[in-house]
Structure 1
Amino acid sequence: MAIRVLIADDEEAHRRKLRAALEAQPDIEVVDDVRDGEAALRVARDQWPDVALADIRMRGMDALEFTRQLAGPKVRRPVRVIMLTTFALDWYVYNALREGACGFLLKPTRPKPAVEGVRIAATGATMVSPRLAVRLLKQMSTRAAVARGKAKVDEDEPLNEWEIDIAQLVAQGRTDAEIGDELYISPISVQRRVVEIAHKLGVRSRIAIALWAWESGHVRRW
């Protein structure tokens, strides 16, 4: 069955380019392309695509609110939202991931990364452009350093020590197999515990778990 995709971008030329690249693929169907956030939300709720490619600076609706309504922790049938962004929007990158975005692509978006991003997102995985990942890690490192400087006993810590160990390894980019080797459990057990951690934190993705681990000061080094 084809992966159903919605495109939301106020740049018509960029929108057409993405649509042409995606529609050329036998396993991808573009349900619509729109120019603003409110239209995108209406189409998404009517068509309920598998993946939405959305400009982080959409007109008509804040991109974070768009993501929250389609992919937030309380959404029963989440859409996989990939944000289209530029280097200058680190704050949006960080917060959109926390709101449920599953990944980011840099604009102008080339056809091959767009196609690969849609396929990755459809599998449930998280994808972030490597250059954006480096910037994001630097930002998280700074936040973690500040958090460690203000460290105090937190009686409301949502995770137990075992879960914190797993969250730390997720934040270091370890795979399920690598985490299993480190903690002497099976990859399947790791997957199960990652799902439980995400539920406790009220997030959906591994990268959101990583953001929490860095921001809360649990990651001591990279």
Structure 2
Amino acid sequence: MSAPVRVLVCDDQALIRTGFATIIDAQPDLEVVGECADGQAAVDLAVQLNPDVVVMDVRMPVLDGIQATRLIAGAGVARPVKVLVVTTFNLDEYVYEALRAGASGFLLKDAPTAQLLNGIRTVATGSALLAPEVTRQLVGRYAARIRPPESADPESALTPRELEVLRLIANGLSNGEIAATLVISQETVKTYVSRILAKLGLRDRVQAVVHAYRSGLVT
């Protein structure tokens, strides 16, 4: 059997933190290795415990979840840890900033238990996770506030088919849905996604979504 996914739970509300930890620890393939109530403790424990995934709240004392995510998973971090942000609808701007800081995805705090567990497993495998019900609202609303860098134009780097796949990714479609839409295999979709990320210098699908909105490819 493979080793369980090591999870660090960070939330300043004890009830939510304990609830998450209890749910996660009950799974045979997941293991809670630590809990904390502020962002600085999250950074310290991430270094000390080397978890596979950090379940991160956004608003926390001492150091907020965005800053903590940047220090744990951001560009330039020697050994980045995958971060799954959990939030509520009224904190969507903070979540967008967390995605820019390096988070691998986000979920809503009131998401079903199965969605939380699936989210942890998904992020742990190196895939990105976006809550589909708020993706377009979230990224579309705040990406326009940031002027894209000169290198952010995907049309100069991608083929027409790759641009089409990127648009579908940005609209929240899974690999299977993209395959069905374009009438191609999922393996072919995976190849296109890998090429897109490599050509644009992006880490995962979350960054691809943000990039598509920032560059004006999707509005």
Q: TM-score, normalised by structure 1?
A: 0.79
Task: Find the residue that maps to 1:83 and give its secondary structure.
Answer: strand
Range 57-66 or range 46-55, more displaced: 57-66
* Aligned pairs (5 A) from 1:62-101: 62-101=64-103
* Partner deviation per Cα, 1:92-129 (whole Å, 9 max, x = no partner): 12121122212222225653332222122222222233
The one-letter code sitting in structure 1 at the alignment partner of 2:118 is E
Shift of 1:189: 5.5
CA contact (8 A) 1:72 1:203 kept: no
* Aligned pairs (5 A) from 1:167-178: 167-176=166-175
Q: 1:115 to 1:10 in 2, by over 3 A?
A: same
Q: TM-score, normalised by structure 2?
A: 0.80
Which of residues 136, 149, 160 is equivalent to 2:157? 160
Partner Cα separation in structure 2 for residue 218 and residue 51 of structure 1:
31
- Identity percentage of aligned residues: 38
Larger Rg belongs to = 1
The one-letter code sitting in structure 1 at the alignment partner of 2:206 is I
The one-letter code sitting in structure 1 at the alignment partner of 2:157 is N
CA contact (8 A) 2:11 2:38 kept: yes
Q: Where does residue 115 of structure 1 map in the other structure? A: 117
Which of residues 15, 18, 26 is equivalent to 1:16? 18
Shift of 1:59: 1.4
Which of residues 105, 110, 122 is equivalent to 1:103? 105
Q: 1:155 to 1:130 in 2, by over 3 A?
A: closer
Task: Find the residue that maps to 1:191 and give its secondary structure.
Answer: helix
* 5+ residue gaps, structure 1: 148-153
CA contact (8 A) 2:167 2:217 kept: yes
CA RMSD of aligned residues (A): 3.2
Partner Cα separation in structure 2 for residue 131 and residue 13 of structure 1:
26
Partner Cα separation in structure 1 for residue 152 and residue 21 of structure 2:
46
Q: Where does residue 30 of structure 2 map in the other structure? A: 28
The count of aligned residue pairs is 213
The one-letter code sitting in structure 2 at the alignment partner of 1:143 is A
